[in-house]
Structure 1
Amino acid sequence: MYKLNFLFLLFASLFINSCGNGQAENETEETTEEISEEATENVVEGESNSNVMNPRTFGGEKNENQNFIDNMLPAADKANSDMLGCYVGDFGKNMINITLYKAENGKAEGYSVCAGNFRKIKGTYEKAPDGHYEFLMEEPGDDKYDGTFDFTLNTADNLITGSWIPFKKEGNSSKNYSLKKRKYKYDPTVGKYPQASQRELTDEDVNNLLEEELAEMRNEIYARHGYSFKNKDWRYHFEDKDWYMPMGVDIRDKLTDVEAINIELIYEYESYFEEYYDDYGR
């Protein structure tokens, strides 16, 4: 195994807090497309003399929006209600997850996860004559990309259909959507490189992979945990997989011991590949 002391570039991630902005295609890309924001943040200097990443602890405190998701998701998952849960599907060019965690006495609360963005939503609902439920829910309104979700919930088919209308028309476009109720379950067997979540990788597993293959293997680990990518290329790549479901914006503490170790190894080879491309691998 190559023992490497390497420097990681720090680059700024563009955090656009509205799902509406992510919903509006989120065309801004990071300077290094192969590195997800989540993985980039997860590099720390270890206690030894060598530089070591710790994917689960670097980057400061856990994202407060993810704390909110982790607190509210169990209510949506376990509640004895046909209305509550996660509804997932296409939203423009992106995939959105609208999670309803409270619906009582005509008032509803939830949140959306889309294109690496998180937004709370709150509003009202009423039962229609056909037995369906009509919801009108709004984002907070403190972001220029916020808007209103107007949808019908068919509990028999576990389906939400409706529209999203931006509060501010400039730079935004309305969207229609049809979202199916889904239940997320972490599955280490899915993907092109499931071994990265199942066992500790060896040098032989990665030393002949191309740089883009290494990046896919590493980002796939985050995707299995439902990480919602801001990076457009990786977002489109994983949203095309039937097993993928955007669940959160900071999944660092959900990585297993095996996955954390493997991310460190993959990063070493990615860094080595960049530095010694002409002599490396194939």
Structure 2
Amino acid sequence: MKKIIYFASALALFSCKDAIKTEAKNDFLIAENIKFDEPTINSNLTITAKADLLGYWVGEFIDDSDYDVNEDEEINEDFYGIDYEYRKKITFSIDKIKGDEITGHSVVSGNIQKFKGKLSETPYEFSINVKEPGNEKSDGQFALTIKKQDTLLNGKWEAFKKDQIKVNKRKLSLKKRIFEYDPNAKIEDRYVDFHKSTIKKVEYDSEDSVGNPIKESYDDEQFYTTTDTIYHINPSTEILKKELVENLSKGDVFVLRNLIFARHGFAFRDQTLRSFFDYHSWYMPVYSDVTKDLTYIEKKNIALLLRYEQNAKEYYDHFGR
């Protein structure tokens, strides 16, 4: 009996690990695992001393360049009609301060990049000027300031290779946040993928030019989305039953699985997922790999959700833009 129980446990463990790896491989969600020093974080959110700067600063990374969109250029928009390239969420992590030297890393679009530079201080404010390595076309430099007794870190980022990327300047307004895993963080909106849709022909009664009754039709485009069911399911605190999961839509299964990763601060590379969670007030992109942080319940649920995701029924709904 002991051998059978051991075999079953080992099989379950293998299935969970395999599911997590498959999740990363299929959705391209695991960024390159760049090693960095975890910041020594104090709880002071109002900045009065250098040490208060240490930690995660989170906010919007917004286009501040002068490029013009060509008429033939395809704009990749999120659910709210905003170009994915225009607005992103950034985590600017100040990891170490030694004298006037400052090191850290940024997390944007699922990519983690180190930076280093100088920190200067006046009686009234702190100024940060740091540079990324420069080996990627998206690397650049940050120039940020914060007034003493304030909570906002403001400034700009500018690319080194301005002619190689569409958005080569961005502005930032960041607030210091303490990352905490919350297994009860809630989904705050519907997930909609405007890149996946289906056309349904809708017929209606009408009349011709002389008043005779006729049938006419129009094409109704409906988009891949979730249902309201996901608001009542928590994949981090309850072991899901297959009877429940097998009746969920593919969108529900997909979002519930990735909700687990979002709660752990996973930095999504997939732009639709990233944009969806960026609008959640609690979401902080911090890590490129959170596998070691997943709980036993979450690992079991990821394996179950992934098993049913491939064959779940796709659900489409109508959304105006």
What TM-score range do you get, normalising by the shorter chain?
Answer: 0.7 to 0.9
1:73 aligns with 2:38: yes
Corresponding position of 1:166: 159
Is the alpha carbon distance of 1:256 and 1:77 closer, same or farther for their aligned partners in structure 2, counting shifts above 3 Å? farther
1:225 to 232, 255, 264: 264
Secondary structure at 2:235's aligned position in 1? helix
Is the alpha carbon distance of 1:238 and 1:269 closer, same or farther for their aligned partners in structure 2, counting shifts above 3 Å? same
1:90 aligns with 2:60: yes
Corresponding position of 1:141: 134
1:175 aligns with 2:159: no
Secondary structure at 2:312's aligned position in 1? helix
Structure number having the greater strand percentage:
2
Corresponding position of 1:107: 101
Is the alpha carbon distance of 1:161 and 1:144 closer, same or farther for their aligned partners in structure 2, counting shifts above 3 Å? same
Let me know the Cα RMSD of the aligned residues. 2.8
**In 2, are the aligned partners of 1:56 and 1:253 still within 8 Å (CA)?**
no
Name segments (4+ residues, structure 1) moved above 6 Å.
Answer: 57-60
Is the alpha carbon distance of 1:203 and 1:155 closer, same or farther for their aligned partners in structure 2, counting shifts above 3 Å? farther
Tell me, which stretches of 5 or more residues in structure 2 are unaligned?
A: 1-8, 45-49, 63-86, 188-229, 316-321
**In 1, are the aligned partners of 2:239 and 2:300 still within 8 Å (CA)?**
yes
Alignment of structure 1 residues 1-282 onto 2, 5 Å: 52-54=15-17, 55=19, 65=33, 68-69=35-36, 72-76=37-41, 81-92=51-62, 93-130=87-124, 132-170=125-163, 171=165, 172-192=167-187, 193=230, 195-273=234-312
**In 2, are the aligned partners of 1:83 and 1:155 still within 8 Å (CA)?**
no
One-letter amino acid of the counterpart of residue 202, structure 1 = K
Q: Give the CA deviation at 1:213.
A: 0.8
Secondary structure at 1:185's aligned position in 2? coil
1:58-91 CA-to-partner distances (Å, cap 9, x unmatched) read 779x97735x24xx22524589921111100000
Give the TM-score normalised by the residue count of structure 2.
0.64
One-letter amino acid of the counterpart of residue 257, structure 1 = Y
Report % sequence identity.
Answer: 32
Give the TM-score normalised by the residue count of structure 1.
0.72
**In 1, are the aligned partners of 2:91 and 2:286 still within 8 Å (CA)?**
yes
Is the alpha carbon distance of 1:156 and 1:186 closer, same or farther for their aligned partners in structure 2, counting shifts above 3 Å? same
Q: Give the CA deviation at 1:248.
A: 0.9
Secondary structure at 1:82's aligned position in 2? helix
Tell me, which stretches of 5 or more residues in structure 1 are unaligned?
A: 1-45
**Count, aligned residues:** 225
